[in-house]
Amino acid sequence: FEPISFEHLRTLIEHEKPDGVIVHFGGQTPLKYSKKLSMVGAKIIGTSARIIDIAEDRKKFSEFISKLGIKQPKNDTATSEAEAISKAEKIGYPVLVRPSYVLGGRAMKIVANQSELEAYMSEAVKVSGSSPVLLDKFLQDATELDVDAISDSKNVYIGAIMEHIEEAGIHSGDSASILPPLSLSPEMIEKVERATKDIALSLGVVGLMNIQWAIYENELYIIEVNPRASRTVPFVSKATGMPLAKVATRVMYQGDLLEALKFYDKFGVVTEKNGIYKANTKSHICVKDSVFPFSKMPGADVLLSPEMKSTGEVMGISNSFEASFVKSQEAAKNALPSSGKVFISLADRDKEQGAVLAKKFSELGFEILATGGTFAHFESKGVKAQMVFKISEGRPNIEDSIRNGEIALAINTSGHKSKKGDAAAIRQAVLKAGVPYFTNMRTAMISANAIASIESAKEVKSLQEYLG
């Protein structure tokens, strides 16, 4: 493969003289070349370079969203450390900061105060070059959504609304997702659909589009719009029976969404309501989970963040959420145990909910091991547990238990700043031993509820049986 640079692309286009160029299916990289390609006479098929620029330029996009009356987190841009500090104060901490025009959330981080922002800026400028750093108000504990849609600038097909399992603050590429969403009210789903349609038609998208939304204090906020295919397109296509990439390509080349949908609607998967076309709801539930390369990277920390770390995706499908979750974990090589010892070490913010989690595991017949602070909290709540030392506290400690094969499941939400790096060292020991693990409370709670469905998850059917 030739390097994907503008010079190589221009040479190739001049030599081949293609009827058109599709920039939808290569992630962020092709989008940043769309304007230059148009300037040298390449015909962009689908969403134009001008519209891509509006979606990618933070100031232009913010103004566009404001005109539509759609809520967005307070945001701004900065090109220097002093400017970033000033604008972050106005937005209010915590702030999500990231360079513009980078792939996979590279160098994206949540900063809690000015000193963390100052430390971040020196590294971020190296990543972003001449592009500004983006600052957004971080919506703590919001529920995030991914929406994949296709538009021909007159009609909109909503391929799926996916609800993230993890809380806000984890990159969408690393978060597990549920399709269809389970915790959203019918009214909220309709609101998401209407807002998605308004954005697609007002922006002038022709082809695929991905929108990330957040529900914060029961209000809908837009996070970002990507005028291209997202990494969830293969998952949505399998889950709904509609080949989104093929439909979008026909729309971009021929410009008629309804004809494209009709051509590919072989399973009766399309319904229409209020001028919005969408996948017909089936009885099955799908869970998309991420695959990580940590086992091949000695010393890696499995703690998730706004910076993307996953390298692939898997899908679990069944007629219940719990069974689909069990299947997704097995596919991602993080299979849930049905018995044994569960090790729990939690950040202070998670200890209250952690007591409920530990009680649930106890009721399922698991033994609970916990580090000092977590153990003390469990004891105060009447939850039976055994105290175990952290690695820095002496021996025998939790690392010994992990090496001896005594731990069936590990739950560790402590951050990077825990005492003497214990949390990171424990996570590395878990990874090395191949112990299933969770690093946030939402997935840990779901895992406890899903363990009872391990037997039912053994049922295997083809995609066609579910879609039929």
What's the confidence (pLDDT) of residue 60? 87
Output the pTM of the full model: 0.87
What's the confidence (pLDDT) of residue 419? 46
Asked if residues 409 and 437 have their Cβ atoms less than 8 Å apart, the reply is yes
Instruction: Give dist(CA 147, CA 429) in Å, integer.
Output: 37
DSSP conformation class of 224: E
Instruction: Give dist(CA 371, CA 231) in Å, integer.
Output: 38
What's the confidence (pLDDT) of residue 101? 56
Instruction: Give dist(CA 210, CA 173) in Å, integer.
Output: 13
Structure-token pair, residue 263: 């051509």
What are the distances in angstroms from CA 100 to CA 68, 128, 468?
Answer: 23, 6, 43
What's the confidence (pLDDT) of residue 204? 93
What's the confidence (pLDDT) of residue 339? 93
- Would you give per-residue pLDDT tens digits along the chain (468 residues)? 567 888 988 998 999 999 889 988 888 788 888 888 888 888 889 988 888 888 887 788 888 999 999 999 988 888 888 888 899 999 999 898 887 655 545 667 888 888 888 888 876 555 444 567 888 898 888 899 999 999 999 999 999 999 999 877 788 888 899 999 999 999 999 999 999 999 999 999 999 999 999 999 999 999 989 989 988 999 999 999 899 999 999 999 998 999 999 888 766 678 888 789 998 778 899 999 988 887 777 666 677 777 788 888 999 999 999 999 999 999 999 999 999 999 999 988 899 999 999 999 999 999 999 988 999 999 999 999 999 888 878 888 888 999 999 999 999 887 655 444 777 788 888 888 889 999 888 899 999 999 988 988 888 899 889 987
Handedness of CA 37, 40, 43, 47 (dihedral sign): positive
Asked if residues 444 and 357 have their Cβ atoms less than 8 Å apart, the reply is yes
DSSP states of 29-66: HHHHHHHHHHHTT--B-SS-HHHHHHHHSHHHHHHHHH
What's the confidence (pLDDT) of residue 169? 74
What's the confidence (pLDDT) of residue 128? 47
Alpha helices in 169-320 (DSSP H): 186-203, 233-240, 244-254, 257-264
Provide CB contacts within 8 A for 164, sequence distance 6+: 143, 144, 145, 146, 170, 172, 175, 176, 177
Give the dihedral of Cα atoms 264, 271, 209, 320; nearest 10 deg. -100
Structure-token pair, residue 421: 């790096």
Domains of the chain with CATH codes: 6-52 (3.40.50.20), 74-137 (3.30.1490.20), 335-453 (3.40.50.1380)
